[in-house]
Every structure is written in C-alpha cells, then in structure tokens.
Amino acid sequence: MSDPTLGALQISTGISGFLLGCLVLQTYMYFTNYPRDSVWIKSLIVLIFALEFALHVSLTELSYNISIINAGNIFVLFHLPTWPISPFISIFAMPITEIFYLWRIYKLLHKMWPSLVGTAISLFRTSCWIYYFARAVRIGLPALAIDTERRWLVILLLSLALFLNVSIVLVMAIYLARHRDASAAKTRKLVDRLILWIISTGMIAMVPHITSLVLFLTMKGTLVWMCLIPISTKVFANCLISTLNARPVHTDVHRPRPTSKKVAAEDVSQLTSTIPTFDVSMTEPAFARAALGTESSATNFTEDKV
C-alpha cells in the first residue's frame, strides 16, 4: 500500500464520518415524522443504519491502527487482521439499498422481471465481491495493490454497479414522465418533483462509483479506489432515507391514535382540514405513492398498514 492509499484512507474516514452524521439526522427525521410506517420499512432503516455505523467504526479502527499505532511499520500490512471488516460490511450494505429501489420499481411497473433482473445483478455483484476480498485476505493488501489477474473483475463489478444505478434512475423517471401528461395539474407538479428528486439523488449516488472506476484505471499499484467504497454505501443510504423523508408530513402525526377504526365526525373534519394540498398519500394516484415507496400510506390515520 503506497502513500496515496494511506492519504485516501484518512480522507475516506473523514468523509465517512460526515456522511454518518447526515445519516443520523435522516434517520432521526424519519422515525420522528413517519411513526406509522410498516414494521418492515422501519426494520430496514435500522439495519441500514447499524451496518453503516459498524462500517465507520471498523474504518476508523483501521485508519488509527495503520496511521497511529503502527506508523512507519510497513510490515503491518502483512498481518493486519481487522482490515477485511470494512469491505465485507460494505459489500453487504450496498445490495440492501439497491433491492429496496428495485422493489419500488416493481410497485410502479407491476412487472416482476425488471426487478428480478436487477436483483440478480446486485446479488451476483455481491458474490463476486465476497470472492475478491476473500482472495485479498489470502494474498494480503500489498499483493492486492499490484494484482493484475483480477483487474477485469473489479472493472466488471464497478461497471455493473454504475449500470444498475443508471437503470434504476431511468426506469423510474421514464415511467413517471409517461404518466405526467395524463394526470391533473396538481399531480403533474408532484410528478415533476419526483422526477427531479429521482434524477438528482441518482446522480449523487453514481459519483462514488464513477470516481472509483476512474481511480482504479488511472492509479495502478494503489488501493485508492477501495477507499471510496465506504463513501459509496453511505451516499446510497442517505439517498434512500432522504427519499422516504421527502413524503409529506401530516400535521397530526403525533396525535394519539383512535382506539377504534371508527373515527368521530369532528375528528374526520379536523383531519381533512390539516391535509396539505399536495399530500400524495391522500389525494394522488397509486403510481405517485409507489414512487415515494409507501403506496398504501393512505391508511395511516386509521390502520397500522403501510
């Protein structure tokens, strides 16, 4: 591992910490504003946050071990038992967010095969990364930096990640654009907002993959490209939770819920008077609700289902 790699590791740790702070805020906003989401979505958010927190802890430990405890000891790279923790957490964190987006595509298109193909690509990538890093554990980091036998595999995996991200963005944006003209004026504004949100978050998520691929092709003999993997997973996690947080927040979200499914007439009147005019969960078509990730959230006021 050369000096550029050590510097990239320090930078990656700092950026990862910043993105983890953003993720803490996003997670707090989600559980504060959407307490009635389904248990499986809440569990998904908790799992993503736990993985990203563990990833940052392992990355910080690796950086401290190399740069502080064993500063100047070039042989530490041959017997550093904890370095595989970070990449292995990363390769399991990434497909979780990708599969969630693919599930949303299934809800939009009502077709199984696009999501199945995307899931197969994601799981194939995960399996190949497991093989790659298991081999790296066996040969060591210095040998991995100059390894030429598996360069094609890294290029393939990074390219597949970029292809999958672009495909998700294009499918969702094109689908929403086709439904835009047939919608009411209020719905068109919502669809425009969704398209802009999907494209912007998708482009942000692509930046780490593109950067990793460019660095891998240009900075041979180093592992600088690998330092971007923790950043990539945290960018994806922030994009996913921010998409969920983009939904309208009902003003009565913290009110006590009725004990019965029958709500008093005066309560109904008060609830409907506080619904924003752009509220997708109560007034907009199913395809817009599915694009936001909770297509059945119209039942939030009276039932426990999302």
CB atoms within 10 A of CB 86: 28
Domain spans in the chain, listed from the N-terminal domain onward: 3-245
Give the CATH architecture of domain 3-245: Up-down Bundle (1.20)
Beta strands in the chain (DSSP E): none
CA distance 162 to 165: 5
What pTM was computed for the model?
A: 0.74
The pLDDT score that the predictor gives to residue 28 is 95
Q: Which of 193, 205, 206, 200 is nearest to 291 (CA)?
A: 193
CB atoms within 10 A of CB 165: 19
Distances (CA, A) of 283 to 118, 128, 192, 195: 31, 44, 16, 19
CB atoms within 10 A of CB 241: 22
Which residues, 6 or more positions from 55, have their beta carbon under 8 angstroms from its beta carbon? 16, 86, 89, 90, 93, 230, 233, 234
The pLDDT score that the predictor gives to residue 285 is 47
Q: Tens digit of pLDDT per residue, the chain (306 long)?
A: 446 878 888 888 899 999 999 999 999 999 999 998 889 999 999 999 999 999 998 888 888 888 777 776 666 666 666 677 778 888 888 888 888 888 888 888 888 888 899 999 999 999 999 998 888 888 777 777 777 888 899 999 999 999 998 888 888 888 877 776 666 666 667 667 777 777 777 788 888 889 999 999 998 888 888 888 888 889 989 988 988 887 777 555 555 555 544 444 444 444 333 333 333 343 444 545 555 555 544 334 333 333
The pLDDT score that the predictor gives to residue 3 is 60
- Extract the tokens encoding 186: 């209020």
